[in-house]
Structure 1
Amino acid sequence: MNWPDRNSDWEELGLGPDELTLYEALLAPSRPASLAALGQATGLPSARVATALGTLTDQGFALPPAPGDALPSAVPPATALRNLIRLRQAELLGRSARLEMFSASVDRLAARLPGGLPDERSSGIEAVRGQEAIAARVRALMASATSELTLLDRPPYASRGGSGTPAPLAVADLVERGVAVRVVVDRDGFDHPGRVRGLNELADQGVSIRVARDLPTKLIVADRRVSLLPPTDTADPTASALVVKDAMLHHVLVPLFESVWDRAMPIGPGDQGDVTADDRELLTLLASGLKDEAIARRMNVHVHTARRHIKRLLRVLNAETRFQAGVQALRKGWLTS
């Protein structure tokens, strides 16, 4: 069996080069019968063989040795991958549920914190009240970033022209200063015509953008040291945001962003070739899993027009299905991988 895609995707599943080499050997019809023979067949020293076999067993790609056997038995790849995906999904759902509970308590916690107390900032949690004060703190937090700014962006959005993402000029300034900007946008935020194009413009400026469903909260993190949780109800003029510097809470919020980022679908510029802005917008919408009717609404065209564009893209990409079109678009750099 050959493994043409030995890359970081396998490492994210917990399998490095040693594990893949041993897994291939265990799957072979005439597999070695002992640890020594397995090491000789793969060219790996015994210590690395033992470590890699333990990893394969822990990750569900191998079963412990049966009575009388010296080696674990390989689990078929399709079964192992399905089980691992279910396990990772369960872990993400559990973490998301815990963070959803934390997000729901933000407003209640903020209401209990009297604004402006002298010891408020030293406590690690600061309540910021009022739309103008919150907007000012967001600008200050963004300006303070020196290495990285990360955002979770979901509706509802502020009614005053707010898209929930940083203004292009502000983001351009951050990128020019060498700040890495990563944004995950909730799919439900693609409600207004032209919004996807705006996100692609941000991507053109060097912002890394991904799309995911059911984001548990809004979140802004600067340099992995200061977090801001915007209010749930952006229309409430008395709503509060929380600025979190407390280490215990912060160690929850940063992993939250990373777990959402890992499961999100990338969008971005790449090598444009003959792709147009409309094509990129359509590919992004297809990647987010929207139906034809929803895509037409986002692009402000009739559903029949949207379907014609989809069929044309399938022909251009030599794809029979939308999934294949997404894969081809990734390979061409029309969507970032």
Structure 2
Amino acid sequence: MTEHHPLDEVAVATYEYALRTGSFTDEDVARSLGVEVHLVAEARKLLQHLRLLAAGGDDRAVVALDPEIAEAELVTPLELAIAHRRREISGIHQQLQALSAMYRSRVQPVAEDVPIRVLDDFEDVRREIDLARRRCTEERITLQPGGGRSAELLEQDLLQTLELRQRGVRIRTLYQSTASASLATRSYVRQICEAGAEVRVAEELSERLIIYDRKLAFIPKERKGKVPPGAALVTDPTVVAYLCRSFESDWQGSQAFDTGGAAEYHHTEELRMSVIRLMAMGLKDEVIARRLGMATRTCRRHISAIMNEVGATSRFQAGMVLTRQGMIPDGDGVSSS
């Protein structure tokens, strides 16, 4: 199958020269047009590739061919291939629609009557997400806590997100600030934003959440080990509306995702205050790290830096100093745990 290549100005001028002269060398055209010879050589090859030029009776002779004939020669195989694919698609639709009707008649009524369904198998969840994405017509909103995602997952999600945007679906995704440190995530965000998606970041996020058309929400189960967890599928209007309001609250307090930021996640003043506030709540290092979407080791470095900054040797002492400085309200001192 012939690959399409656009005609540039040199190619068009070369074709016009062939119409006028009937025979030429690349040097002849280059002198006439005032361009480099290699550009004419590339243009000639392109014109021959598109069946717009053919060799004549001698080494120098070329014949300019009718573009309508060339179009027929190039387009006909493509049209036949498209027609063949359409017949395949139609056959698949016809075969599966009958089975789909059978499946829905037995399963769907039960599923629709249950406002919350819990799926333990991640593959079942993935299939339900695929179905929800295909049915989505208005909006997909996502909470994505933690750091950057793997390049493999991002590549797959990129294709799916771009397909949704092509259908006019609004895309809003809220990442945790630590995701800005991931080069792969920044590249992904840059591409979907160019397609019209909206992406922001926040210092703290709750668990992951996906909502389609404000009607169906996916809430993941607690992860145990490396196996992807199952999820709860929520269709209850009251619960979904509550989840949407929670998302809007997080969205309003977020900032634009900086796709051109540095690769390292710096210790910003906003992050410092978040760590102090969570320390004041008496949370352990592991919990603080999870809330802020960072590794526990990184979290401990931030805590250590804060304690060194105020000259404290324990969390309790740090709490007293930070309270005196007005960083922590009285009664919310840092736990000694």
TM-score tier, shorter chain, comes to 0.3 to 0.5
Q: TM-score, normalised by structure 1?
A: 0.42
Q: Please say which structure displays the higher CA radius of gyration.
A: 2
* Larger proportion of helix: 2
TM-score normalised over the length of structure 2: 0.42
